[in-house]
Amino acid sequence: MNLLGIRPKSIRQAVETLSGGQRQAVAVARAAAWGRKVVILDEPTAALGVRETQQVLDLIRRVREQGLSVVLISHSMPEVFAIADRIHIHRLGRRAAVVSPKTTGMSEVVAVMTGALPSESVTSALLATPAPSSSDQRFQ
């Protein structure tokens, strides 16, 4: 709660009495606190204000730095590009491409997502990223 800057009137306050943004922040904090190998976050900042969104993104960075893998599902491309090591682009329920935010621009990602560009037009991060070794604890 302190990491996210959530300050309820009382620590005993029921979650259902918190604002929508505070509830989402509590859910992210719970996922990060209990995650063992991977945390999956589906639109974790959708109900948050600007300040709370930044706090959640900072928490995601800290979680990742501690060796916990994070899967972030989001339509917010600025947030995805701020956080991601790899971006899995989906179109019509299927993975269209996997790209690196370092080599692929936001407009290209959106174009593949919407079908304006074929997936073959972007460089695959799967080819550029070495496979994890068996000694890489994050993938075991």
Q: What is the pLDDT of residues 28-40, one digit of tens each?
A: 778 777 777 888 9
Q: How many structural domains compose the chain?
A: 2
Instruction: Indicate the average pLDDT of the chain.
Output: 81
- % of the chain beyond a pLDDT of 70: 83
For residue 46, being part of any structural domain is answered with yes
Q: What pLDDT band is residue 6 in, cutting at 50, 70 and 90?
A: low
The model carries a pTM of 0.72
**Domain span at 95:** 85-131
Question: End-to-end CA distance of the chain, in Å?
Answer: 29
Residues 34 and 72 in one domain: yes
Residue 27 lies in a domain: yes
Which helix H or strand E contains 15, and what residues bound it?
Answer: none
Please enumerate, as own/partner, the contacts of 124-129 that have beta carbons within 8 Å and a separation of 24 or more.
124/97, 124/98, 124/99, 125/86, 125/87, 125/98, 125/99, 125/100, 126/98, 128/100, 128/103, 129/86, 129/100
Nearest to 88 by CA among 67, 65, 71: 71
Same domain for 77 and 106, yes or no, is no
